[in-house]
Structure 1
Amino acid sequence: MKKIIAINGSSRRNGNTAKMLKAALAGAEAYGAEGEFIQLYSLFYKGCASCFYCKQKKKIHGNICATKDDLTPVLEKIKEADALILGTPIYFMNYSSSMVAFLERFLFSNYLYRFPDSSIFPKKLPSALFYTMNATEEQADLFHLPDRTKAYEEFLGNILGVPPKVLSAYNTLQFRDYSRYEASIFSEEDKKAYEKEHFQDTLDQARFIGIKLIGG
């Protein structure tokens, strides 16, 4: 049975990012895969300590991060997976801090300063990146979000040997009741109308990506 892992870089266990990840898992599971959902904000870990343990010549074939914390078993599980999906909200046109710290640990421990075979990840692993954001697509382009995410996307593809599939959800709802918060620059009516028109389609696309990642 194929194993697909979805990693949520949002603090919200059932928010927009989680819904996209779970839709992808549901798609993969419908085709017989085993899915696992990992909530990063439930784990205690930190980013790369730049100790270079993973770069020592006598250690490099183990692609092991020397830091031991709640992220350690997650890094090991990924080596055994058949597909990987990472989901993150976009904060100030960047990944969430939990996702950045995860990627520091994961990517750097599988990367060597050599050319052309810089990746020591043990196999090719299909992957996807899901983004959710309050910004519209036009605002994301205005603030150069595609340029900011491109490096992560390329590094992930280089390490895993396969370019990741990318799916973005724009103009998402942050609150169900906007009257409770100071958010006067937004129209609750317009935001909810946009979600009604677009978000289900995004979930359908996420489900399809889950199916494709496990070869369905």
Structure 2
Amino acid sequence: MKVLAVNGSPRKNRNTATLLEAALEGATSVGAQTELVHLRDLNGKGCASCFACKLKDGRFVGRCALRDDLSPVLQRAMESDVVILGSPIYLGGVTAAAKAFLERLVFPCLSYDTPDRTCFEGRIATGFVYAMGMPHDRVEAAGYPHLFEENKRYLELLGGPSEYVISADNYQFDDYARYAASNFDEPHKAAVRAERFPQELQAARTMGARLCKQAE
């Protein structure tokens, strides 16, 4: 059982990365081999709309034709049983790095011919962890469930089940006093970090283990 986690955050040891590490702990607990990749270390681009993946009888049906640092990671993703993505929410969406990887991973599998919309012949279970500063009680009103469900539907083109974990009201700074961030209540953020973030980490662990079981 191979599990690949892909961190779309520019930070390697903060909320998103910690959630991904928890998901991998869950995968490891059921015997999986795991790997964590940080996209900030790689020089890669999003889909170039070259349509090489859509050529009839082409060499790249179901896989991206672009060659850059993302190429070997995408190849390992296609060889994995489970792929788990992670991203903070920036300006209403996932990071540019996470979006680029998602495009390159999913678009080659999106069929313009078949009723089920996929040309991928394998079965990869997928997960997504989202980290965001918005309070939990505002997430739905802000329309974010649409984003989460849309990404879930795209990932389901890889033939397996997909789910996600949301971590909201994140603690963002080591020292709030050093930053122009007076709109945030630091004691409240600290309380959420102490009380709720551990629950979200456990949800990520559970997801990692469950996806492995579903991929068997």
**TM-score interval, smaller chain:** over 0.9
- SS for the counterpart of 2:34 is strand
Q: CA deviation at 1:139?
A: 2.1
Matches within 5 A, 1:155-194: 155-157=154-156, 159-194=157-192
Q: Which amino acid aligns with 2:104?
A: R
What are structure 2's unaligned runs of at least 5 residues?
none
- SS for the counterpart of 2:111 is coil
- SS for the counterpart of 1:90 is strand
Q: Which of 10-19 and 131-140 deviates more?
A: 131-140
Whole-angstrom CA distance in 2 between matches of 1:66 and 1:60 = 8
Query: 8 Å contact 1:4–1:36 — kept in the other structure?
Result: yes
What are structure 1's unaligned runs of at least 5 residues?
none
Q: In the alignment, which residue of structure 2 is the partner of 1:137?
A: 136
Q: In the alignment, which residue of structure 1 is the partner of 2:194?
A: 196
Query: 8 Å contact 1:112–1:118 — kept in the other structure?
Result: yes
Q: In the alignment, which residue of structure 2 is the partner of 1:79?
A: 78
CA shift in 2, pair 1:174/1:18, >3 Å: same
Q: In the alignment, which residue of structure 1 is the partner of 2:103?
A: 104
Query: 8 Å contact 1:61–1:120 — kept in the other structure?
Result: no
Establish whether residue 56 from structure 1 lines up as the match of residue 55 from structure 2.
yes
Query: 8 Å contact 2:54–2:61 — kept in the other structure?
Result: no
Q: In the alignment, which residue of structure 2 is the partner of 1:70?
A: 69
Q: In the alignment, which residue of structure 2 is the partner of 1:146?
A: 145
Matches within 5 A, 1:106-121: 106-121=105-120
Q: In the alignment, which residue of structure 2 is the partner of 1:94?
A: 93
Q: Which amino acid aligns with 1:130?
A: V
Whole-angstrom CA distance in 2 between matches of 1:121 and 1:21 = 25
Q: CA deviation at 1:130?
A: 0.6
Q: CA deviation at 1:106?
A: 1.1
Whole-angstrom CA distance in 1 between matches of 2:120 and 2:95 = 24
Q: CA deviation at 1:170?
A: 0.7
Query: 8 Å contact 1:94–1:149 — kept in the other structure?
Result: no
Deviation digits for residues 89-147 of structure 1 (CA, Å, limit 9, x no counterpart):
01122111111111111111111211314312231111111100000122222221112
Q: Which amino acid aligns with 1:12?
A: R
Q: CA deviation at 1:75?
A: 1.0
Whole-angstrom CA distance in 1 between matches of 2:197 and 2:100 = 28
Deviation digits for residues 134-176 of structure 1 (CA, Å, limit 9, x no counterpart):
001222222211123322211111x122341111001001102
| TM-score (norm. length: structure 1) | 0.94
Whole-angstrom CA distance in 2 between matches of 1:214 and 1:104 = 24
Whole-angstrom CA distance in 1 between matches of 2:205 and 2:149 = 23
Establish whether residue 10 from structure 1 lines up as the match of residue 17 from structure 2.
no
Q: CA deviation at 1:12?
A: 0.6
Whole-angstrom CA distance in 2 between matches of 1:95 and 1:166 = 13
Give aligned pairs, total.
214
Q: CA deviation at 1:210?
A: 1.1
- Structure 1: which 4+ aligned runs deviate by more than 4 Å? none
Query: 8 Å contact 1:3–1:83 — kept in the other structure?
Result: yes
- SS for the counterpart of 1:168 is strand
Query: 8 Å contact 1:154–1:163 — kept in the other structure?
Result: no
Query: 8 Å contact 1:40–1:98 — kept in the other structure?
Result: yes
- SS for the counterpart of 2:188 is helix
Establish whether residue 211 from structure 1 lines up as the match of residue 179 from structure 2.
no
Task: Indicate the RMSD between aligned Cα atoms, in angstroms.
Answer: 1.5
Q: Which of 54-63 and 28-37 deviates more?
A: 54-63
Deviation digits for residues 30-49 of structure 1 (CA, Å, limit 9, x no counterpart):
22110000101111011111
